[in-house]
Structure 1
Amino acid sequence: MEVPEIEKKIGISLYSTDTEGLGGQLRQEVKDFIVKEITNREEGTEGKYLILELIKHDWDTHHFTRTLAKILQMSQKRISVAGTKDKRALTTQKISIFDLDASEIEKVHLKDIELKVLGRSRKSIELGDLWGNDFIITIRDIANSPEEIRKLLEKTTTGILAQGGVPNFFGVQRFGSVRPVTHLVGKAIVEGDFEKASMLYIAEPFPDEPDETKKARQFVKETRDYREGLKTYPLRLGHERAMMNHLITNPEDFAGSFLVLPKNLYRMFVHGYQSYIYNTILCRRIEKGLPLNQAVEGDIVCFKNDAGLPDSSKTEKVTAETVTAMNRLIKKNRAFVTAPLPGHNTEFASGIPGEIEQEVLQEFNVPLKGFNIEEIPEMSSKGIRREVLLQVEPKFEVTDDELNPGKSKAVLEFMLPKGSYATTVLREYMKVNPLQMS
């Protein structure tokens, strides 16, 4: 089945299942997308950090922490989370606040926000505390009858279970849902062209943007008149506006224009480029008929860490002598086949997997040394390996859709480890434009 053009632009050219798509619509209601964080920590009664459970409904994580910091009259840096969660969703996660008495939480009265004190700790909540997420996701407005949908879901689920999961693609969110430009900016940065990178981010119009936004971007693209551009750029494009303000006072400092952005954002550009290359390599592996849940000679596998998750810092190359033993470990879920997120010091596979990796790097003319970015060292990346299979065991129910008379709905439940995307599972069932999943 043909994948949507927007997915091809981010390196995803195939589905791993050959079933017909359900179609349907996600997030018709916010509570149709429920995410609950799984952490591996328990809270006590002592320590400088107040630990809370946060339940939020249709709130962006960063927007919430900024708002909470204002209410509590403190620096946002004192508030920590293990991971950001979808905005248009009902999400449950832990947060920590440094040096705050539990009674202060009584000051917080925000619509669609619930905060519950769990205890105290000597450690803040950090990314390493996140093990994964539980999802309960409702797909609505499906045209087929419940019985037809049930058969289709069973067939797709059987295919997913037979291959041990789905390809561990980076979803469209990694690149920008309406405007998938992140990896293109990253490519220009790695190639050392900060001017091109800056202009791509500020001024490259995309078809799915509002007409006024496309017109504003096109004007700046053609004229480089940032001062005039600021008069037409919507206020919601705060990052682009901040970069243009920098370029008004520092006309040639294109690298510096990225430093006015939040650090977690400007680091995403290079990560996006790596993700695009990884997605492409993963598709080529599948097209060549190589399995995802079994190693072949030349593969690089990683092993479980103490938390039971794949650890890309513990890797080993598979040889003719070790391939049988390695596949026993993979079958026991103790080892995992990987593909590269390339950088300036990446370990590459050999054999057929290595040929695939090198073919893509040469085709894209990737300058590996370019990942060592002297202008902004924080953007640099040595590279890393990532497991190619997203292990998942979905369960489902099908009923009539009470919001759309005459239509059906499917409710899917599954757990995913951190760093993976629910949409990579959902796309195998729905087979729709990813914008219908955002």
Structure 2
Amino acid sequence: MVRPTHFELERLMGIDAYLTDEDGVGGDLRVEPGDFRVKEVSDFKYGTSGDFLIVRLTKENWETHHLIRDLSRQLGISEERIGIAGTKDKRAVTTQLMSIRGASEEQLSRIDLPRVRLEPLGRANKDIGLGDLRGNDFDITVRNISLPLAECEARLRAIDANMAKAGGIPNFFGYQRFGIVRPITHLVGKKLLTGDVEGAAMDYIARSFPGESEENKKVRNMVMGTRDFKEGIRLYPLNLRYERTMMHHLIERPGDYAGAFRSLSPKLLKLFIHAYQSYLFNKLLSRRLLDGLPLNEPLEGDVVCFTDAQGQPDTSKLETVTKRNLPDIKFLIKRDRAYVTLPLIGSDSGLDAGRAGEEERRVLDEEGIKAGDFTVAAMPDLASAGLRRQILLNARPSINTGDGNATFKFFLPRGCYATTVLREYMKASPEQMD
């Protein structure tokens, strides 16, 4: 039985339900960065020659975009010359491959960044990108579980059993996609879509949220009310780097709000639109859950994807479910060779048929958005055609408990979130999982 969430912060991200109705074990995530360990699983091939230096990066408590920026500065190169297969959690110990075009091992040895290890592995003739990532191995410890051990284990077993019946876990976009302390990214994306670039910029720079420190709320509210960017630069803490960058631009070029956004890195800028697409996906998946529709059984009108050579969902291989092919698709889904998908709505997205299509129309109407808005008329370089994403996460955690802790080990395909798995077991507030 599905359980609606009672956390307003989750609903703000489009996450409206749990798959399982059993009580969770609670606890705290990321008490220490070492409690959350992520190791990238990559298919990237490298050798001894090529223009790209291939490096194994291990970082602790670093936001990925900040690290790339600081690394590029120490190397004296542009950020575009640094390639990764995906961003990793900040408050964590993470290991992944990185490519650096035109860099030498000697240059790398001079890098001095705290809590960062850079190990040269070889060279290649191309950079590392998203297609080189298969997924991630997670080793995560949840601490401060207040339940007696027997009750903790009983709850975990019951949740496991119900997820096995459902065939897996709902593949929500996790909290990191939006921000927990300040979930603003998708809200900025929506304003960019509707052409309100000024409103989007002001929201990002100055809209405050209850979870922020009193100092941050005070200075954001001041800038929102006065648009005094010079005073904002003076008062904003140095860690609010992106907001400060945008305000610097607006001091030099008053009123150029699109230019203020373009003062950010292109990768970060595109995250705003992608975050709003993620929010819409979460809403659609939540509706499917709350309507009592299955995640591991196809309905007429659904679109399914098939698996690749590694057995992972491949959303480049799609087929619409019809009365004629329904038995065959059911057979493949039961054998983990196909998955039901929902759209990451974009400019080229056609709405699905059947029940799924009805919900897509309803959500877009509620949001006041059309698929064509994803051409982003105000900033066309941010346009997004749309994609598909599987709705079921076939994770099978290995769990060990004791001393008020629980350790979870599991693999997830690229683009999937460990917090999405853990929220079903913990049923704790998002703030406890940050």
**When the two structures are superposed, what TM-score results if normalisation uses the length of structure 1?**
0.93
Aligned to 1:21: 24
Runs of 4+ residues over 6 Å off in structure 1: none
Amino acid in structure 1 at the alignment position of 2:128: I
3-state secondary structure, aligned to 1:267 = helix
Q: Which amino acid aligns with 2:331?
A: R
Structure 2 residue 170 is the aligned partner of structure 1 residue 128: no
Q: Does 1:424 align with 2:410?
A: no
State the distance in 1 between where 2:232 and 2:116 align: 37
Task: Tell me the distance in 1 between the aligned counterparts of 2:335 and 2:138.
Answer: 25
State the AA in 2 paired with 1:412. Answer: F
Give the CA deviation at 1:97.
2.5
Counterpart selection for 1:140 from 122, 140, 143: 143
Q: Secondary structure at the match of 1:283?
A: helix
Match of residue 102, structure 2, among 99, 104, 107:
99
- Distance in 1, matches of 2:70 and 2:259, equals 28
TM-score (norm 2): 0.93
Which amino acid letter does the alignment assign opposite residue 297 of structure 1? E
Question: Quick one: which of 359, 366, 370 aligns to 2:369?
Answer: 366
Superposed displacement of residue 247, structure 1: 2.7
- Residue 108 of structure 1 deviates from its aligned partner by 4.3
Give the whole-Å Cα distance in 2 for the aligned partners of 1:166 and 1:348: 24
1:339 shift after superposition: 1.0
**1:255 and 2:251 equivalent?**
no
Distance 1:286 1:380 in 2: 30
Between the aligned partners of 1:74 and 1:199, the Cα distance in structure 2 is: 31
Conserved in 1, the CA contact under 8 Å of 2:197 and 2:378?
no
Residue correspondence of structure 1 range 78-97 to structure 2 within 5 A: 78-97=81-100
CA distance in 2, matches of 1:266, 1:69: 18
Partner of 1:43: 46
How far did 1:64 drift? 3.4
Q: Deviation string for 1:76-122 (max 9, x for gaps)? A: 43332211211221212112223344455444465433333332222
Cα distance in 2, alignment partners of residues 432 and 50 from structure 1: 42
Shift of 1:150: 1.4
Superposition pairs for residues 116-195 of structure 1, below 5 Å? Answer: 116-195=119-198
**Helix, strand or coil for the counterpart of 2:263?**
coil
Identical positions, percent: 47
Residue aligned with 2:144, SS: strand
Provide the aligned C-alpha RMSD in A.
2.0
Aligned partners of 2:398 and 2:167: how far apart in 1? 14
- Contact kept in structure 2, 1:43 and 1:121, CA below 8 Å: yes
- Offset at 1:74? 4.0
Distance in 1 (CA, whole Å) between partners of 2:95 and 2:190 is: 35
Q: Which of 198, 203, 209 does residue 200 from structure 1 map onto?
A: 203
Picking from 355, 358, 361, the partner of 2:358 is 355
In structure 2, stretches of 5+ residues that fail to align are none
| CA distance 1:22–1:190, change in 2 (3 Å) | same
Is the CA contact 1:65–1:79 (under 8 Å) kept in the aligned structure 2? yes
Matched, 1:233 2:236: yes
Point out where structure 1 has 5 or more consecutive residues left out of the alignment. Answer: 401-407
Q: Does 1:435 pair with 2:431?
A: yes
Distance of 1:94 and 1:15 partners within structure 2: 34
Q: CA deviation at 1:427?
A: 0.3
Structure 2 Cα separation of the partners of residues 107 and 146 of structure 1: 49
- C-alpha contact (below 8 Å) 2:39/2:136 kept by paired residues: yes
Residues 3 and 15, structure 1, Cα contact 8 Å, conserved in 2: no
Q: Does 1:412 align with 2:412?
A: no
Further displaced range: 296-305 or 228-237? 228-237
For residues 379 and 103 of structure 2, what CA distance do their matches in structure 1 show?
A: 35
Q: Deviations over 1:170-222 (max 9, x none)?
A: 11211122111111111111111112212211221111111122122222222
Letter of the 1:118 counterpart = L
- TM-superposed deviation, 1:65: 3.4
Alpha-carbon distance in structure 2 between the residues aligned to 1:191 and 1:74: 35
Q: 1:425 to 1:69 in 2, by over 3 A?
A: same
The code of the aligned residue for 2:275 comes to G
One-letter code of the match for 1:41? F
Contact 2:19 2:170 in 1 (8 A): yes
Q: Secondary structure at the match of 2:17?
A: coil
Give the drift of 1:32. 1.0
User: C-alpha separation between the residues in 2 aligned to 1:111 and 1:197?
Assistant: 34
Query: Is residue 2:245 matched to residue 1:242?
Result: yes
Residue 59 (1) aligns with residue 83 (2): no
Q: CA deviation at 1:126?
A: 1.7
User: Which AA in structure 2 matches 1:430?
Assistant: M
